Structures are given as structure tokens and as C-alpha cells.
Structure 1
Amino acid sequence: MLARLLLITQCLLVLAIGVLGIDKTYRLRGTIIPNEVLKDVSQIATRATAIVNGGAQRGFIQSDGSFVVDNLELGDSLLEISAVDYAFPKIHVRISLKEDGDDAAGNGRASVAARFVQVGSEWSEDTPLLGYPLQIGASGKYDFFTPRQGFDIVAMFSNPYMLMVGASLVAVFLLPKLQANMDPEALKELQNKS
């Protein structure tokens, strides 16, 4: 009997939350656009995702470059595009309710304000707003491979290990010649000290 009462109470609570819109969430839309860095958007579609707040919500990039991130709440968020080969700018997204946007049911319409942000700096209102739905272009391409360097004699002799080897070789070959040219009395005194 108590279990049924608890189940009915939970069902009524879930229904009340749905009807009253207490857990209202919003959707963020955007598109990856081609530019000089990324000429064909379909190159990244299978491996790229749109990440909000470090992975709390995600959206997958479609083959045409579009993405949708669901379940966003009102307030500030950080949008990042995660791709293997390309770098994208980070975007500060602020979702707020429009004051004049109430519909007949009393639900407010959401407004999205988005700005580019520098990582490690404060979110500033001075940067220009981006259009909505967002249009984001790649800012750079990652290069994971560096070409092998050829032989360089200057680089070889500027290596500290080679400098130590060179000094040792100089000592091995020049010290006996210096001893041969020494004064016999100074040589005898040096041998007595050691």
C-alpha cells in the first residue's frame, strides 16, 4: 500500500514538472562553415563534436557541418568544437529569456548571445556578438608530423656532449706535446707534486 502511494506521488511530481516547465531546457544550433583552413566540411564530420561546458552536453557534427546541442539551461556556457585535425575558436554562449517573448502558455522565448572568447581571460561584453544560428570556421590545422632534419655540422658541434668530447680529445693529444716542451726543472717539480 505504501509502495503504491509512493509510486503515485512520484508520477504526480513528474507530471507537475512537465506541465509547469520547471526543468525547461534549450537548444543551441550552429554550422561549421568552410574557409581557407578547412575547405571541405565533410572531412571532419565523422570525428568532430560540439562540446558545451567541458562535456556536460554534446552535439555531433553532421556531414553538412550543422550541429545541435540539446538540454542547455539558462545562463552562461562555453562552446568548443572538438576535432582531431583542426582548431576552432571557443565561444561564450549566454542563453536568456526575452522579456517581451511570452507566448499564450506563459513560456518565455529564449535569446542566444554568442561571442568569441580567449581562453584564460574574462568573458567580456566588449567583443562583438555573433549571429545565430552560429557559423564557425576553423582557425588552424594541427600538424602532428615534422620533417626529418638533414645533417648539419654546426648543430653537431654546438651539442654540449660533442663539446665535452672535443675538449677531452684536445687534452689527450695536446698535453703530452706541452710536457715535451716544458722546462726540465718544472717537469721534475710537477712530477714530485703528484
Structure 2
Amino acid sequence: MVIANKLGGVSMAASRGETGSRRFVVSSITDLGTIVHQRRKEFGWSIVETSDAAGTSRYFVADLEKGKPSCQFDKVMAVLLALQLKVELRAGTHKPMASPKKASEGRGRRSLADGPAIPLGHVHNDPETVGCLECGKRVRNLQKHLSSTHSMRTIEYRRRWRLPDDFDLRPRAVADAIEIRKRVKGVLKRSD
């Protein structure tokens, strides 16, 4: 990916000088974040001013500048447009370093043929944690673990491992504490 601006001037982040415009080779979201940060500083804009110009939140601009990998593409494009940057894609002339991974490999997902990492009966062995069927790791918050490690929502997880809707994905201690709170709240409502 090549980012170009039409204004010329001082170079920033891996630039390749050309007359009339600067080009930046972007090989990661971190590179893009650095370019956005430097361009924002060239304009003399704060994060809030940049987010207002792009129609995004200030948190999004901050995350983009930090190189957060899950930034939404349409919002990234809005920020680039506000900063008068455009994107050009060019095919490389070199051969790829490795063959592309299968969709299930790159995101930490197990093959369905391999089956779950732990038996279904071992998911709730410990009252303080719940076992992940994808990797076998015991975690306190499965929803957060699935999102951050496997890029998966709980609905996808349930569908993938054919879990019924009533199968509890919370640790037993957490589920019990929530149930007790509901009961107490119900008793208090009835006494009013």
C-alpha cells in the first residue's frame, strides 16, 4: 500500500520522494498510524480536531495512531481523506514469501477435524475459570478471550462447536453469583 499526499514538503515515515507529492510505503497498521500521527501534527490538529474533520470518534483516531489492528477500513479512509492523504495499491514484483494461510490458521482456530482442544466435560472443571474449546486455555472471561485471541464472537463459537443455547460459557462461580443476585433482587422487589 502506498499513501500519497499532494502537498509535498518534509518527508515522514519511510517516504520516497517524488516531485509534487510524497509516497509512503505502508507494510503494517503501525506504519499507517505513524503516518497519520505525523500528518496530523503537520496540520497542527489535535486528535479531537482530526476526529471532527473525519466524522469519527477521538478514540478511533487515537487507536489508529497507536496501530490498533482492528480499525474499521471505512473510518481509516475517512481519516486519510480528512488529512488529504490518498491510498494507491500497487502489485509487487517480488514473489510472496510463503503460501497464504488457510482462514482457520491465521486466527488461532483449530480445524474441526481435530476436534476441540479439551473434552466438553472439562469446560467447567474449575469453578473460577472456563475452558476454551479452541485452544484449551482456562480463562475467567471466555467472551473476551474469544474476541482477543481467536477473533470470534460467542455466537460463532457456539455454532462452531454445536453448543446448545443453554450451555453456560461463564465460570460456575460467576454464574452462581449472578443467580444469587437475581434471586435477592427478585425478593427485594416482591417485598416493596
> Shorter-normalised TM-score: what interval?
under 0.3
Larger Rg computed on CA atoms? 1
| Greater helix content | 2
TM-score (norm 1): 0.19
More strand by percentage:
1
